[in-house]
């Protein structure tokens, strides 16, 4: 697993999997047939996001670090939205039908919150990282003699 990870492609596939689960929640299926696989898919998505977060945090040399952080945070947001949908009362996987759902969702949500916090702490948007000018406008005017 030492191969270089393509963030854009990997996050694209993760988002496709999240949309697939979202679609599954919208159609009328026998939720018992899909429950274990859906929870396994959610675990898989979370584990890939763990790996992506670790790769992001360990490599400060990304050419487009801000974009990668934004994409990673957006995928985490998408993941949190599907967690909310699955835990909702109208979900085919609600506690009413599957009592263990909330335990799974709470664990996955906690992991997601930790990842988001770590990414946000390591990520400084370009606008905030710009330093102040070395010479202020007043100083520049004074140096040029146009006070």
The pLDDT of 22-34, averaged and rounded, is 91
Total-model pTM: 0.78
Q: Which residues contact 43 (CB under 8 A, 6 or more apart)?
A: 108
Euclidean distance between CA atoms 63 and 129, whole angstroms: 15
Are 52 and 106 in contact, with CB atoms under 8 Å apart?
no
Between 31 and 41, the more confident residue is: 41
Q: What is the mean pLDDT of the chain?
A: 85
> Which tokens is 24 given?
């599954």
pLDDT band at residue 140 using 50, 70 and 90 as cut-offs: low
Report the CATH architecture of 7-144. Up-down Bundle (1.20)
Comparing CA positions, the residue from 100, 104, 108, 93 lying closest to residue 48 is 108
- Which helix H or strand E contains 106, and what residues bound it? helix 101-122
H runs (alpha helix) in 59-100: 65-87
């Amino acid at each position: 697993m030492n191969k270089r990870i393509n963030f854009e492609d990997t996050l694209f596939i993760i988002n496709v999997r999240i949309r697939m689960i979202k679609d599954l929640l919208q159609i009328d299926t026998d939720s018992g047939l899909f429950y274990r696989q859906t929870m396994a898919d959610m675990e898989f998505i979370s584990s890939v996001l763990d790996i992506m977060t670790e790769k992001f945090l360990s490599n400060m040399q990304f050419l487009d670090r801000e974009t990668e952080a934004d994409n990673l945070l957006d995928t985490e947001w998408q993941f949190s939205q599907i967690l909310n949908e699955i835990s909702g009362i109208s979900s085919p996987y609600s506690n009413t039908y599957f009592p263990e759902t909330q335990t799974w969702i709470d664990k996955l949500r906690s992991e997601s919150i930790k990842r988001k916090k770590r990414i946000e702490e390591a990520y400084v948007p370009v606008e905030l990282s710009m330093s102040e000018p070395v010479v202020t406008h007043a100083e520049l005017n004074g140096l040029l003699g146009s006070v």
